[in-house]
Amino acid sequence: MEIKILGKNDEAQNALYRITKQAVEELGLGNIAIMKENITTLPYYDILHLPTLIINGKLVSTYKKLNLEEIKSILLQQ
């Protein structure tokens, strides 16, 4: 599983990164690469709002403050 968190290296992106990392650890999903990327990737994904969560190349959430349980649910659906 490949997880990308796109943002402006601000608190919103950092919070999404921390919560996603915690969800991966709590679900025992193993050694998954979680990458923080900057806004230069936006045109590739056709994104208008940040932060954005992308899993396996699929945009799963944008411009939403997700909590731990929401991220766990998203990860389990992938």
Q: Which domains does the chain have, with CATH numbers?
A: 2-77 (3.40.30.10)
Task: Please give the Cα distance from 78 to 73 (Å, whole number).
Answer: 9
**What's the confidence (pLDDT) of residue 41?**
64
In this prediction the pTM is: 0.83
Task: Give the model confidence (pLDDT) of 18-51 as tens digits.
Answer: 999 999 999 998 767 777 776 676 667 677 778 8
**What's the confidence (pLDDT) of residue 73?**
95
- State yes or no: pLDDT of 64 exceeds 90: no
Task: Please give the Cα distance from 46 to 44 (Å, whole number).
Answer: 6
Token pair 């997700």: residue = 66
Give kind and range of the element (H or E) at residue 58: strand 58-62
